[in-house]
């Protein structure tokens, strides 16, 4: 009986959490897409500086990671494929798994580590130093002021980063292809491009936009619900990272299943 009530308790807590996320994401979306037409302009300057932080500054580390992931994928695929003498399919395997799955996912995880945690820490610190309260007493909505620029930056930059990640992954794979599988660089790239359908890339990009919304909502919600004291900021940051990774995987599963069932293939 106690077990049942505990399970019920955590289910309602979970649903309430998802509800708060949806509410926060919804309000950020309102201020991004509807607000500007109702005299509540977006702070473009802040959005641009967020976009630099989320996007441009993530490029070096993201490039390195996805290049290696592409190379690893090629090695793993070749391990099986060479038994069937099908090693030339390495390019296809890498291109499809990068653009459909690993490109968006690895990008999201890198962005969670760099920006999701930073959102929670920044907003959490502002909560602790009463800056969020100050915004409210000045009749300035913290969601409009703080969350919306991050939201806009995320939904634009995450798809861009994902395309970059796909490209770097394919380049990583080509290192194996050229050195171990008798490809020339040009042939490897054209084999990769030929194997991809537009659908593979688009579904990955749709997922990456959803990941961006999830990461922003979780990071900002954790920041806004920070309790009193510096250690609470640390706790919020940790929770933001863990919850974001978990929810990104859940969103990934939901959308992959969705694409699977609506595709005619």
Q: Using CB under 8 A as the criterion, which residues of the chain lie in contact with another protein when the complex forms?
A: 126, 129-131, 133-134, 136-140
In the complex, the smallest distance separating the C-beta of residue 129 from another protein, rounded to whole angstroms, is: 6
Q: Got the DSSP string for the chain? A: -HHHHHHHHHHHHHHHHHHHHHHHHHHHHIIIIIGGGGT----HHHHHHHHHHHTGGGHHHHHHHHHHHHHHHHHHHHHHHGGGT-GGGHHHHHHHHIIIIIHHHHHHHHHIIIIIHHHHHHHHHHHHTTHHHHHHHTT--HIIIIIHHHHHHHHHHHHHHHHHHHHHHHHHHHHHHHHHS---HHHHHHHHHHH--HHHHHHHHHHHHHHHHHHHHHHHHHHHT--SSHHHHHHHHHHHHHHHHHHHHHHHHHHHHHHHHH---
In the complex, the smallest distance separating the C-beta of residue 161 from another protein, rounded to whole angstroms, is: 24
Nearest to another protein of 123, 181 (CB atom): 123
Cα 90 to Cα 112, 120, 164, 178, 179, distances in angstroms: 30, 40, 20, 11, 13
Nearest to another protein of 71, 126 (CB atom): 126
In the complex, the smallest distance separating the C-beta of residue 131 from another protein, rounded to whole angstroms, is: 5
Nearest to another protein of 1, 139 (CB atom): 139
In the complex, the smallest distance separating the C-beta of residue 143 from another protein, rounded to whole angstroms, is: 12
The conformational region for residue 39 under phi > 0 = left, psi -120 to 50 = alpha, else beta, is left
Nearest to another protein of 38, 263 (CB atom): 38
How many whole angstroms separate alpha carbon 93 and alpha carbon 74?
8
Nearest to another protein of 43, 187 (CB atom): 43
In the complex, the smallest distance separating the C-beta of residue 164 from another protein, rounded to whole angstroms, is: 28
Nearest to another protein of 80, 136 (CB atom): 136
Nearest to another protein of 40, 82 (CB atom): 40
In the complex, the smallest distance separating the C-beta of residue 1 from another protein, rounded to whole angstroms, is: 23
């Amino acid at each position: 009986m106690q077990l049942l009530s505990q399970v019920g308790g955590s289910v309602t807590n979970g649903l309430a959490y998802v509800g708060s996320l949806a509410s926060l994401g919804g309000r950020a979306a309102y201020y991004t897409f509807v607000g500007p037409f109702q005299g509540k302009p977006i702070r473009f300057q802040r959005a641009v500086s967020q976009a630099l932080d989320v996007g441009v500054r993530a490029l070096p580390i993201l490039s390195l990671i996805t290049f290696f992931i592409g190379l690893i994928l090629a090695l793993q695929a070749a391990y099986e494929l060479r038994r069937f003498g099908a090693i030339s399919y390495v390019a296809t395997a890498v291109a499809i798994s990068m653009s459909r799955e690993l490109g968006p996912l690895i990008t999201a995880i890198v962005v969670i580590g760099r920006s999701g945690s930073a959102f929670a820490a920044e907003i959490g610190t502002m909560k602790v130093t009463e800056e969020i309260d100050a915004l409210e007493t000045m009749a300035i909505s913290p969601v409009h002021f703080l969350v919306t620029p991050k939201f806009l930056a995320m939904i634009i930059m995450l798809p861009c980063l994902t395309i970059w990640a796909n490209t770097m992954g394919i380049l990583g794979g080509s290192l194996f292809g050229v050195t171990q599988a008798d490809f020339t660089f040009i042939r490897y790239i054209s084999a990769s491009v030929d194997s991809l359908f537009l659908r593979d890339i688009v579904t990955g990009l749709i997922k990456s936009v959803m990941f961006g919304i999830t990461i922003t909502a979780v990071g900002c919600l954790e920041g806004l619900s920070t309790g009193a004291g510096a250690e609470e900021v640390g706790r919020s940051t940790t929770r933001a990272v863990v919850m974001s990774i978990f929810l990104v995987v859940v969103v990934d599963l939901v959308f992959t299943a969705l694409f699977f069932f609506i595709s005619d293939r």
